[in-house]
Amino acid sequence: MRQWDSPQRARQRREQRGLSTNTARWQRLRELVLREEPLCRICQQQGRTRLARVVDHIDANTSNNGRDNLQPLCPSCHARKTARYDGGFGNPRRRFRQESGGI
């Protein structure tokens, strides 16, 4: 469980995941992806060279472990992508109501 997670959110995330990250099967798949493509895909697109250490689900569906849905990322690119997609730190994106007269 992550330090910012509630027990319910952590359980929900585990139930949705196709392969638990601590299984040998996921570790082999992760290793295969990083061996095939050792550099961060996003950094490469921006002209930078950085080693990838994280395997990311492109469509954010953790049950879709097809090779075409997995991409290697460096930790900082993965954190930015995760924050953009789900509001950061694994929390569901929240909608903020605009106050009248506010920005």
11 token code pair: 């359980």
* 8-18 average pLDDT score: 62
E strands in the chain: 54-57, 70-73
Give the model's confidence band at 20: pLDDT under 50 very low, under 70 low, under 90 confident, else very high: low
Average pLDDT over every residue of 75-84: 90
Q: Where are the domains of the chain?
A: 22-85
Higher pLDDT, 20 or 53: 53
At 67, the amino acid letter reads R
- pLDDT of res. 89: 55
**Is the pLDDT confidence value at 97 over 90?**
no
Residue 82: what pLDDT? 84
Cα atoms found within 13 Å of the Cα of residue 90, Cβ hemisphere only: 17
SS3 62: coil
Cβ neighbours around 101 below 10 Å, total: 5
Over residues 80-93, mean pLDDT: 70
pTM of the predicted structure, to 2 decimals: 0.67
For the cut 60, the answer to whether the pLDDT of residue 7 exceeds it is yes
Contact 55, 64 (CB under 8 A): no
Range of lowest pLDDT (26-30, 86-90, 98-102): 98-102
Return the amino acid letter for 22.
N
| Exposure string over 6-36, b if 16+ CB within 10 A, otherwise e | eeeeeeeeeeebebeeeeeebeebbeebbee
